[in-house]
Amino acid sequence: LSRVVSVYCRCLAWCWLSDAGRETCVYPLPEPQDLFQASQMKFEDFQRDLRKLRKDLNACSAEMGKVCKLSSEENLQPFKDKMYTFLSQAKTELETQEKQLEETQKIFLELSVSFSVKPKAGEKEVSPNTFFSIWHEFSTDFKDHWKKQNKLMLQERVKMAEDCFKQAREKASYSVKPKHATGIVRLCTFYHS
């Protein structure tokens, strides 16, 4: 992995695609702690939470129906309209969340198949824990090597800059003196005067 990170950083720096080897360099992978948090998530927990919200929404709707049935017409507004708007919006948002969760789970399973990750023994599908634990370990190791490589590249850049500065200073310290008239040239100037 160390060699892969080294080649990766040097290629990026060579192509000027990143700040590899510079102080402004940004880690290119998801942070290990983000992958760890992702590994702790369970689709079943989200599904359970959405079922509870659906149950609470239905209970709220039933309560609204009771209140509307038992209230006189003069006391019904604006409660009925506002609650109807609220419940409609809540139902729409809940349905959107349910569809997004279903789609996310489908995409996650396709992703795990494309990376050839198999479910652990006793699991019927690959869990986020199984999938993201692997990537958490990889990202942690990659980040360690990334930091070392960037530090090394930064030191190399500093050394190159120092060498360039030293060469420029040495070039500037050469002194060019005017040539003194000697030999025949000197005699010629003596006779011409």
Sheet strands (E) in 39-172:
none
Cα separation values, 73 from 62, 67, 70, 76, 80, Å: 18, 11, 9, 5, 10
pLDDT at 161: 82
Cα separation values, 9 from 22, 59, 155, 182, Å: 11, 57, 14, 60
pLDDT in tens, 129-185: 999 999 999 999 989 888 888 888 888 888 888 888 888 877 776 666 666 666 555
pLDDT in tens, 26-68: 777 889 999 999 999 999 999 999 999 999 999 999 999 998 8
74 and 51 inside one domain: yes
51 and 113 inside one domain: yes
Domain extent at residue 28: 1-42+127-163
59 and 154 inside one domain: no
**In-domain check, residue 174:** no
Contact 115, 130 (CB under 8 A): no
50 and 117 inside one domain: yes
**In-domain check, residue 181:** no
* Nearest C-alpha neighbor of 46 from the set 91, 94, 92: 94
User: DSSP characters for 35-48?
Assistant: HHHHHT--HHHHHH
Q: Is 145 exposed, middle or buried (CB count within 10 Å of its CB: 0-12, 13-18, 19+)?
A: middle
**What's the domain count of the chain?**
2
Q: How confident is the model at residue 101 (pLDDT cuts 50, 70, 90)?
A: very high
**Amino acid sitting at position 118:** K
53 and 13 inside one domain: no
Handedness of CA 163, 165, 166, 172 (dihedral sign): positive
Cα separation values, 163 from 20, 158, 166, 169, 174, Å: 20, 9, 5, 10, 17
Contact 87, 57 (CB under 8 A): yes
68 and 94 inside one domain: yes
148 and 98 inside one domain: no
pLDDT at 164: 86
153 and 105 inside one domain: no
135 and 116 inside one domain: no
pLDDT at 104 over 90: yes
Q: Is 135 exposed, middle or buried (CB count within 10 Å of its CB: 0-12, 13-18, 19+)?
A: buried
Contact 171, 35 (CB under 8 A): no
81 and 108 inside one domain: yes
pTM of the predicted structure, to 2 decimals: 0.64
